[in-house]
Every structure is written in C-alpha cells, then in structure tokens.
Amino acid sequence: MSGARTRRRRALATVALAVLIVAVPLGIYAWGRTSGTFRVRHIELHGARPAHARAVRLALKRRLLGVNLFGVSTARVRAALAAFPYVAELTIDRDFPDTLRVRMTEYVPAALVVSGGRWYVVASAGRVLAVARDTGTASPSVASPPEPGDSPSASSSLASAGQVTTSSPSPGASGSPSATSAGDTKGGASPAPAATSLPTPPAGVKLPHGTRALPVVVTAVPLTVGATITDTRVRAALSVLAALPRPLRRSTLGARATATSIRVMVNGGPTIEFGDTSRLAAKVLSLRAVLVRYRQHHIACTFVDVSVPDRPLGAPLLPAPAVQASSSPKNATNGAATGASKSPSPTPSGTP
C-alpha cells in the first residue's frame, strides 16, 4: 500500500514540475510582452551598403522604436523595409532588454534594362532594384537598327532610350555581314561580326550612384520595381553577363538577346556570340582561351564565336594595308583610271 502511495506522489511531483517548467517561461513571456522594460530603444544595422544604410536605419527606427522586443519578428522587419527592393536577406537578433540587431544582404546591381524608354537597375537574378529619374534634360534620342528576331516594340524602346553606342566595325569590311555560328562554318571560313548598337543613358537620366556604367539590355516587357523580370531573353542575357570574367565585365557595353542567341558587346574589345545559355561555363572558358591566345600574339580581336565551345572562332583586326591589299588589282586599276572614289572591297570572312 505504501508503495502505491509513493508512486502516486512521484507522479504528481513529476506533473507539477512539468507544469512549472512550461508555465514559468510562458508567464515571463506574457509579462515581457506587456512590460516597458523590453521596448526597443537601440537598433544596430549590419550589412547595408553605405549608400542605403542611412535610409534603412531611419525606416527601421520609424517603424520599430518603442515596439516590444518580444513582438519583433523577421517578417515584421522585412515589412518595415518593403520600400527597399534591394534587400535580399534579413536576420534579426534580440539583445535583451532593449536592443535589436538587424543583419541584411543586398542585391548587387548587374545591368541597366531599358523598357518603354525608361531605365531600370536590375540584379543578375532579374530583380528590378530601381528606376531612373528623368530630370527633363535628356538629349535627343537616336534610333538604332534592330537585331534579327527583335520585336518592333523592343526596337522602339531602344530608340527612345537615348544616345547609341556602336560596336567595333567588321574587320576589313565596309559592310557588316551577319555572324555565322561555329557549328555552321565550312571550309575554314571564320565569321565577320555584325554591326550592333546599344543605347547609353542620356544626360537627363538620374541613375543611382555607380550604376551608369553598367551593361545595357533592352526589352519590350514592362518592368516594375521590386518584381522579377519575366522576359526570358533578358534573363538569358543577364545570366551571360554574370558569367563573364570580371575584367571583361567591367568593360562590357551590354548584350542583345534574340530567341536563339545572346551577343555581348565589349568597349574597345570584341563582339562575342554565345548562342543560347547551354554549356555557359564551357563557353566562358573557351572565350578566355581565345582572348589569351590573341593577347599573347599582340593581335586585336574584333569578334569571337563560342556558340560551340569546342570549336571557338575569332576574327582579328586587320591593319589598313591588309585591307587595301584585299582589293582586286582589276578594281584598283579601274578606280585609278576613272578617278572615281571607291572604297576597297570587303575582306572575305575567311581571311585570318
């Protein structure tokens, strides 16, 4: 009989201890949520870029100072920063009794996307971070020729965006023949680059600090700040730009994307044909090898086709005498005899 009572007492003590273990923290939590002791009085911010830190800190103070620390969650902090689309990730740390620590990471601006004549700053993942302000002093727009596969609306967006920067001309050619992919080349002929143009931000467009020199991509799809770009062509162009070697990326003017290919233009460098985004890592490695080889021979390269990374193609910049020599003697004689001013014949695309 005494053994049964002992077991019953032990069971009751265990239950009482379990209730106490649960009730005491709940009681402290309930008291803490209503106590003024745990109100947020200090906010520490880590990870914000200097250009944004002041505005982010002010937004946090405006929404969270005086709020009970027990009631602050990651979702609540993110809601307080909803006006800042460049916020990528957030974590919080409650330092009782009155300090909130916020650690954040930001999307990195990767490109300028032109849509409907407006300039947007986007991240490599397609997140639209900001839209440029128009101060009303923009220079006259200059139309640029559409690429094959571009829609009329994309061409009009490009034309209304501002000045146009034109890539290097075809090596040894007065025209601009279309490039041929490596898989379609026969008889050892290398393609000549096509003339391609991209808009540059007009003087009247006010862009966020440090973004004016970013590469440019054009789209006809409307964009919204804080949303992710749905245009698959733009997403493909952004992935190619992000995969470029860093030294090359710094001098990249932008990319033009069609349904089947992405073409990258480099300031003072080659036009690069990537084809689609398949085997992108292999294509970048192939591009590196081609550029290194040209650099070792001190030859300027105007066009590289890595659409088939196992068989890359490159076109050198031919010096002026070589271009003159490519003209046939018959044409040169006729030109001298008639006194007519004629341009030399284009160098064949297969000329090394």
- Full-model pTM: 0.69
Output 182 or 110, whichever has higher pLDDT. Answer: 110
pLDDT of 181 strictly over 80: no
**Confidence bin at 4 (pLDDT 50/70/90):** confident
**Confidence bin at 229 (pLDDT 50/70/90):** very high
Residues 308 and 276: their CA atoms lie apart, in Å, by 10
Residue spans in the chain of domains classed CATH 3.10.20.310: 39-106
Pairing of strands 109-115, 99-106: unpaired
Residues 92 and 101: their CA atoms lie apart, in Å, by 6
pLDDT of 144 strictly over 90: no
Residues 58 and 186: their CA atoms lie apart, in Å, by 63
- Per-residue pLDDT tens over the stretch 73-104: 999 999 999 999 999 999 999 998 999 999 99
Q: What is the mean pLDDT of the chain?
A: 77
Whether residue 271 contacts residue 264, with contact meaning beta carbons closer than 8 Å, is answered with yes
Burial of 200 (0-12, 13-18, 19+ CB in 10 A): buried
The string over 65-88, giving b where at least 16 C-beta atoms fall within 10 Å of a residue's C-beta and e elsewhere, is: eeeebbebeeeebeebbeebbbbe
Q: Which residues pair with 254 in a beta bridge?
A: 216, 265
Residue 60, C-beta contacts closer than 8 angstroms, at least 6 positions apart: 43, 45, 77, 80, 81, 100, 102
User: Picking from 49-58, 155-164, 272-281, 291-300, which range would have the lowest pLDDT averaged per residue?
Assistant: 155-164
Homologous superfamily in CATH for domain 39-106 = membrane protein fhac (3.10.20.310)
Predicted confidence at residue 350, as pLDDT, reads 38
Output 172 or 286, whichever has higher pLDDT. Answer: 286
Residues 169 and 151: their CA atoms lie apart, in Å, by 24
Question: Coil, strand or helix: which one is 105?
Answer: strand
Whether residue 226 contacts residue 117, with contact meaning beta carbons closer than 8 Å, is answered with no
Residues 193 and 170: their CA atoms lie apart, in Å, by 5
Whether residue 75 contacts residue 37, with contact meaning beta carbons closer than 8 Å, is answered with no
Residues 335-341: what's their mean pLDDT? 40
Q: What angle do CA 293, 168, 268 make, to 5 degrees?
A: 60
Residues 114-134: what's their mean pLDDT? 94
Predicted confidence at residue 37, as pLDDT, reads 83
**Confidence bin at 31 (pLDDT 50/70/90):** low
